[in-house]
Structure 1
């Protein structure tokens, strides 16, 4: 089972003058909604998490959806034996999440994992479903917290691009 989650930081609040209705892509992805994120395998009781407080949560959810789609570009899909790689780099650090798909499985590791620690492994279709649900849930939470965000055309496009599966 995959569990994706986040917490918003109190140390890095959004600027009070932010107009969420007109915030551009760069602002939404890199300057707002900072906190921490995690990916957990509840069956194996293991997780990859940040504890930095400055990870842009919306950007993480958005990038995760992009990566899952990127890993699905081989026309053979889950029958493909070729390894497909992707990485999610965190803007303010050199740390990365590393993704590798082979057949229908995706391994997720991190630069900050201890040496020899095995990656988390999930089915690609389950990861796609959970990533999209996570994005939709994050946006729903953020629009409840921030007046005007639901009226932002960038958010409309994002939700249309990655609907729930």
Structure 2
């Protein structure tokens, strides 16, 4: 079972004058909603998490959906034996999450985890579904906290690009 989550930082609050209805892509992806994120394998009780407090959580959810589409380019899908790779870079950092898909399974590793730590391994279809659910749930949470965000055309486009599956 997969668990994706986040927490918003009190150290890096959003600017009070922000108009969420008209915030552009750069602001939504890099300047707002800072905090920490985690990706956990509940079955093995292991996780990859950030503890920096400055990760733009909406950008993480958006990038995770992008990455899972990148590793799904082989038309053979779950039958593809050739590994497919993608990386998720964190804003303002050299840290990365690396994704390798082969035979319908995605292995996830992080720069900051010990070298002898085995990767987290997830079924691609399940991880893709969880990532999209996480994105939609995050947008719903942020929209409840920030007036106008649900009316932002960038958010509409994002939700239509990655619908729930």
**Cα distance in 2 between the residues matched to 1:115 and 1:89:** 18
In structure 1, stretches of 5+ residues that fail to align are: none
Structure 2 gaps of 5+ residues are none
| TM-score for both structures, normalised by structure 1 | 0.99
Q: How does 1:106-125 map to 2 (within 5 A)?
A: 106-125=106-125
CA distance in 2, matches of 1:130, 1:148: 26
SS at match of 1:116: coil
Matching residue of 2:62: 62
CA distance in structure 2 between the partners assigned to 1:104 and 1:152 by the alignment: 35
How far apart, CA to CA, are the structure 2 residues paired with 1:21 and 1:160? Answer: 17
**Separation of aligned partners in 1, 2:50 and 2:105:** 23
Q: Deviations over 1:116-162 (max 9, x none)?
A: 10000000000010000000000000000000001100000001111
Aligned-partner Cα distance in 2 for 1:59–1:20: 15
Q: Secondary structure at the match of 1:135?
A: helix
| RMSD of aligned Cα (Å) | 0.4
Matched residue pairs, number? 165
The aligned counterpart of 2:156 is: 156
Q: Name the residue aligned to 1:6.
A: 6
